[in-house]
Amino acid sequence: MSGFKKTLLFVSLSSLLAACNDSNESNSSAENITPVPFNPVEATIADVHRSITTKGANCVSIVQSYLDRIEAYDKKGPTLNSIIAVSPTALQEAKALDDYYLKTGQLKGDLHCVTVLPKDNIDAVDMANTAGSKALTDNFPLDDAYMIKNIKAHGGIILGKANLDEFAFGFGGSSSNPNGGQTKNVYDLSKGPGGSSAGTGAAINASLALIGIGTDTGGSIRIPSAVQGLVGLRPSLRLVSQDGIIPLAPTQDTAGPMCRKAIDCAILMNSLTGYDAATSSNQRNDFDRLSPLVSSAAQYKTMYSVPESYVPAATESLQGKRIGIVKAMYAQPNSSGVMTEDGTLVNQAMEQAIAKLTAAGATVEVVEINDLSKIFSTYSSLSSYEFKTALTVYLQSTQSIFKSYADLQQSGLMIATFNNYDRDPTAQTFIDGYALNTTTRAPHVRGSLNSALDNTDAAGEFKGLSYDALAYPTMTALASDLGKGPSAGTNNRLSPFSGFPALSMPAASVTSTRSTYPMNVNIEFIAREFDEPTLFKIAVAFEQVNPARQVPVHTPAL
């Protein structure tokens, strides 16, 4: 046994003995509580806290259980390659939380001893922020990103950094990079994990950490959530500070939770939000990218309708909820009129989800989104317009030896794909395209979505009662073969093009001739700007009547 492992074992046993001694000294009522052991497989935040408060486990043993799973499944066995780095301080932080609990009898916060795995494009001290690139292996941040500070303040433990497509370049990528290798789909190791938050998705699906954080420019939280059977939220633009996140397109970027249970994503959301005075927060007082930043916590909370908590009531149900189904966003036949097997299975899963929603008391009606085909064909992502400049701004605030996009390009350490992003901002095609996608796009898409949600016609007249959310399949196909980008379709664009929040969650598992294992299909709900609370209410209630998530067979309990 290595010296490192001996040290971990000593710390774990010492802490467990301390917990036992404390238990012996507790009063008689505490002695009557039955200890609840901790099992990391499919564990929830409530499970962690139940084990700690009943003295069935302490934080050191809980964190060690996840480290053991990483060792067994990420670098050995199925070799998921979902994690680029493990925190060197995770067990020390766990011991500090154990000491805090033994001293005060209280949990530090709603994330006490919750292992969190952020994507490796988010700053966290003591670990390099590499964005999956060989060029940034020495990019150690000076401080934590705003959201990481919040998570630690709430008692969370940053367990490590998750793998991704290099520089988060495109959810359609192969989810492989020179720094972290090829991430695999935990359900079927021969299938792709979805990108670009591939590592977060695979790790959370495999229970290598309790909850995760992804980033989403086009679909990079929701696509891996869809193929890995997770709940993933792309929050409203501006709501979550972008401080300490390596940018792809700041006008379109955001970060959000990825979890096995909707309630855990809601709890994590409490730590991801909050006013940040940093100039890189992107928390502006208007949707226009050039508008000034919000000036105070009070303005932030009022303008963005931030609740005291995103966690729904335990009694939340679907009774009375109104959902508009966008059937135009279902999988469609090809130009020859032929529907693929993937498309058929996705559409069948959606119909099963609608039946469950309706049976639980929700009203589900078919709706149309004005100019939907035009929206998808006219506009594009901003990454090729903003990445070059935004990355340079980030690098100038770090310890990286490279200080600009040009430096990285000249190093030869970036993948060749990024040469396509070395665009001339003075070219007329660049100017026209950027104006179209920053000035014209948002008002058009936001107007169409609000009209559909409000259930109004082109003249603004109400056609009926408004909807709480719209719904459609996250992807119009199933997971691709490993090494190929998923055939995701265009549905993922609605949220980033509008800035409205979208939540993706399991709808059903399907049987495909392309896999010997069940394959997951996710339904996506999109709501009005800053109406994340409604999305969490729908998701938590829908999970209760439709427990569609499947536990992967390749990563069982140790």
Residue 422's pLDDT is 87
Output the six-digit token pair for 61: 């043993």
Residue 2's pLDDT is 39
| Torsional sign, CA 308, 313, 314, 318 | negative
pLDDT band per the 50, 70, 90 thresholds, residue 8: very low
Among the listed residues 55, 95, 108, 119, the single catalytic one is 119
What is the tens place of the pLDDT at every residue in 238-291?
999 999 999 999 999 999 999 999 999 999 999 999 999 999 999 999 999 999
| Residue 5 a catalytic site member | no
C-alpha pair distances (Å), 420 with each of 391, 397, 414, 417: 15, 25, 12, 6
Residue 416's pLDDT is 66
**CB contact burial 229-263 (16+ within 10 A = b; e otherwise):** bbbbbbbbbbbbbbbbbbbbbbbbbbbbbbbbbbb
| Residue 220 a catalytic site member | yes
Task: List, in sequence order, the alpha helices (H) in 54-110.
Answer: 59-69, 90-104
Residue 264's pLDDT is 98
| Strand bridging mode 115-118 / 211-215 | parallel
> CB under 8 Å to 509, separation ≥6 — which residues?
229, 518, 519, 520, 521, 548, 550
Q: Which of 57-71, 111-125, 169-183 has the lowest mean pLDDT?
A: 169-183
- Average pLDDT of the residues of the chain: 92
Q: Which of 187-196, 398-407, 427-436 has the lowest mean pLDDT?
A: 398-407
What's the predicted TM-score (pTM) here?
Answer: 0.94
**113, 63 in Cβ contact below 8 A?**
yes
pLDDT band per the 50, 70, 90 thresholds, residue 30: low
Phi and psi at residue 336, in whole multiples of 5°?
A: -95, 5
Please write down the HEC assignment for all residues of 371-393. CHHHHHHHCCCCHHHHHHHHHHH
| Residue 82 a catalytic site member | no
Residue 498's pLDDT is 98
Residue 31's pLDDT is 60
Residue 173's pLDDT is 55
User: In this predicted model, which residue has the larger pLDDT, 11 or 358?
Assistant: 358
Cα separation, 386 vs 37, whole angstroms:
49
What is the tens place of the pLDDT at every residue in 292-344?
999 999 999 999 999 999 999 989 999 999 999 999 999 999 889 999 999 99
Task: Decide if pLDDT at 488 tops 90.
Answer: no
Among the listed residues 176, 220, 383, 448, the single catalytic one is 220
Cα separation, 120 vs 165, whole angstroms:
10
What is the tens place of the pLDDT at every residue in 207-240?
999 999 999 999 999 999 999 999 999 999 999 9
Closest CA to 250 of 434, 407, 22, 67: 434
C-alpha pair distances (Å), 308 with each of 42, 241, 295, 313: 27, 18, 20, 13
Task: Decide if pLDDT at 13 tops 50.
Answer: no
Output the six-digit token pair for 103: 């001293």
Among the listed residues 15, 51, 196, 504, the single catalytic one is 196
**177, 137 in Cβ contact below 8 A?**
no
Output the six-digit token pair for 253: 């970027």
